[in-house]
Structure 1
């Protein structure tokens, strides 16, 4: 269940879900006006003298509904939000800020998952669909940013209708932002990205915030110059709106390098956890996406990079195709990805710095004894090599002349050691989620294994059993292919 927190301030409130800021009443109008106003205004232009039907997915706080209801052309709004607690807040604490929008006679509320709701929607029912979802905190959350979801949204739109969705930050989650862009294009929605500076988001390090204004029909700058805005807006105007579609070239160029997010291969969450692309140095030029007309790059993921099996296979493939690791260094973002949102690249680097000391704590004799206890499950030549290796470790001899298959097997064990600690470093280093630096940590401090740290080492060994099976399967397949 989500953790909801309302912070009372001298001149308003701030609302958090699971510790992530959803809105600050001081500047929420920036977010909600840009999310809603261009979409409804464009639909009003495209469908003159029409009673507009609007669907809002998420947005139980009522703030997006408030903006939609500023248009008299909107005859009916459906709001779908699965969280009844947020809706209750929308009708109580948030009511002074959403202008009582959730009690409008033009609104129907459905307490339901948006994915289930939209499956039952007749084709072409809505002129505008607005997605106001929370920031994804796990792979499940990214299903409403998947190719399959966007395809269903496309079907629910009237021909020429508008879909607007909040995204992630193009500044701090650049690859994730463009993953959404490519996924929208793949769903045959002509996406136009835009970005905003929301002060409360910036203060918390979220960066500029991104949105996508989309339609089956290309959105032209000339159209946006013709739209009319309702009265009583606090932030948005035509000049500011047109400026929001400009991006630095260094950020914009990343859009060609990412893959599409789908249910089978949830690339978006991987990109959010692993912001791996380096921004190229440019001449500070800008890209205006209202002047760009392109289709999806069509890049489909081949594996789920957040699964241990995919990581292990990547290590093996890199090992078997690389003659000299010095000439072709591994991409740690693929071979050692961050697995949990509470972890950061800085934590990953810190963890790797611990690796040498951590491995010292492993009793190789016990590890080999445990492995040899199941030696009958291994191919004979690997079993023989492991017995020889065990004897060399016991007697202190140099570790040389291992066969390639045995080296692969040992690499798989190493990957398990790495991944088990990366998946659950909290058990090794007793770390929690925090937004700041390492605080009082001193890399020169001695490492003393606590009970929790010992548990982390046990996790490594327990994971070895799975990876032994995976390695045998992979090696067996490789040997079959060689034969």
Structure 2
């Protein structure tokens, strides 16, 4: 029997305050410290190359597409003509990659506070960003996301995508999930704008999840929630989508597939059937 506990390097991935998983690292390629965090590129058994920040797995080669497609495409498909898109966070460039698949996009602004994460990603994570940083439609800004939103003009963006740290990651993360911040997002969105945020896990962190959902619901008239199992996170990741006018529950599988096809979007996970299925799953209460 293979020895899978003793020896080697392991990443401890917390699922909740009382539960964690062990991931065996085959190789550590590089580590760097920034003013904000520690970044690592490692090869993880069963998951391939992985971006690890402050000892927490952010994205892996094997399953990152599940997270990034689920975050990006429901909001992008819901908007009939997303030309200007804002991404807050998403330093590895994979969210930007998915946004740029939509040929309607004329401008995709990605704002990240940590320049070293972006430079690290450009240098080591080409397999993940796939050149998205260098697309002529992309604009990468190193800046605090809250500050950028506060200084943005009214009614400018069609879609805003919040690829943030979890709402329970610390006090610094909480303002990015506040009602005040969502009102600023509402202000910078056009009259038919759409916003989506990742919201951590609703099963283990119910209070934090409800905080996010309730705040978004106070600002946007159309709000839906959905979740996806991310193997390397060892839990389901929740997403909450808000819209000024569009209701994604009125879309059909065929309509979603046609939009993706017409825009030239190729995906591995998200299609019309899964889009509708995710909206029907519901959130575990209790």
With normalisation by structure 2, the TM-score equals 0.80
**Number of aligned residue pairs:** 243
Distance in 2, matches of 1:87 and 1:190, equals 33
> For 1:96-111, what aligned pairs fall within 5 Å after superposition?
96-111=127-142
Q: Which has the higher contact order (CA 8 A, sep 6+)?
A: 2
The match for 1:173 is 205
- 2:185 pairs with 1:149: no
Structure 2 residue matching 1:191: 3-state secondary structure? strand
> Which deviations, in whole Å up to 9, do the C-alpha atoms of 1:11-46 show, x marking residues without a partner?
731112222221111000000001111211221x2x
The match for 2:69 is 33
Distance 1:29 1:220, change over 3 A: closer
- 2:254 pairs with 1:196: no
- The answer as to whether partners of 1:189 and 1:214 remain within 8 angstroms in 2 is yes
Structure 2 residue matching 1:74: 3-state secondary structure? coil
Q: Report the alpha carbon displacement of residue 231 of structure 1 after superposing the two structures with TM.
A: 3.7
> Which deviations, in whole Å up to 9, do the C-alpha atoms of 1:249-269 show, x marking residues without a partner?
7x34xxxxxxxxxxxxxxxxx
Structure 1 unaligned spans of 5+: 253-278, 280-483
Name the Cα RMSD after superposition.
1.8
Distance in 2, matches of 1:143 and 1:59, equals 17
Q: Report the alpha carbon displacement of residue 224 of structure 1 after superposing the two structures with TM.
A: 5.2
The match for 1:7 is 42
Distance 1:167 1:72, change over 3 A: same
- 2:99 pairs with 1:68: yes
Structure 2 residue matching 1:36: 3-state secondary structure? helix
Distance in 1, matches of 2:116 and 2:221, equals 33
The match for 1:119 is 150
Structure 2 residue matching 1:164: 3-state secondary structure? strand
Q: Report the alpha carbon displacement of residue 8 of structure 1 after superposing the two structures with TM.
A: 2.3
> Which deviations, in whole Å up to 9, do the C-alpha atoms of 1:310-368 show, x marking residues without a partner?
xxxxxxxxxxxxxxxxxxxxxxxxxxxxxxxxxxxxxxxxxxxxxxxxxxxxxxxxxxx
Distance in 1, matches of 2:265 and 2:153, equals 33
Structure 1 residue matching 2:149: 3-state secondary structure? helix
The match for 2:90 is 59
Structure 2 residue matching 1:138: 3-state secondary structure? coil
Structure 2 residue matching 1:139: 3-state secondary structure? coil
Q: Report the alpha carbon displacement of residue 130 of structure 1 after superposing the two structures with TM.
A: 0.4
- The answer as to whether partners of 1:184 and 1:190 remain within 8 angstroms in 2 is no
- The answer as to whether partners of 1:154 and 1:189 remain within 8 angstroms in 2 is no
Distance in 1, matches of 2:120 and 2:60, equals 14
With normalisation by structure 1, the TM-score equals 0.48
The match for 2:247 is 219
Q: 2:55 aligns with which of 19, 40, 49?
A: 19
- The answer as to whether partners of 1:33 and 1:236 remain within 8 angstroms in 2 is yes
> Which deviations, in whole Å up to 9, do the C-alpha atoms of 1:392-444 show, x marking residues without a partner?
xxxxxxxxxxxxxxxxxxxxxxxxxxxxxxxxxxxxxxxxxxxxxxxxxxxxx
Distance in 2, matches of 1:209 and 1:165, equals 11
Distance in 2, matches of 1:158 and 1:235, equals 29
Distance in 1, matches of 2:194 and 2:188, equals 11
Distance in 1, matches of 2:127 and 2:64, equals 13
- 2:125 pairs with 1:90: no
- 2:215 pairs with 1:187: no
Q: Report the alpha carbon displacement of residue 176 of structure 1 after superposing the two structures with TM.
A: 1.8
> For 1:35-434, what aligned pairs fall within 5 Å after superposition?
35-43=71-79, 45=80, 47=81, 52-135=83-166, 136-202=168-234, 207-223=235-251, 225=253, 226-227=255-256, 228-229=259-260, 230-247=264-281, 251-252=284-285, 279=286
- The answer as to whether partners of 2:92 and 2:128 remain within 8 angstroms in 1 is no
Structure 1 residue matching 2:154: 3-state secondary structure? coil
| More strand per residue | 2
Structure 2 unaligned spans of 5+: 1-35
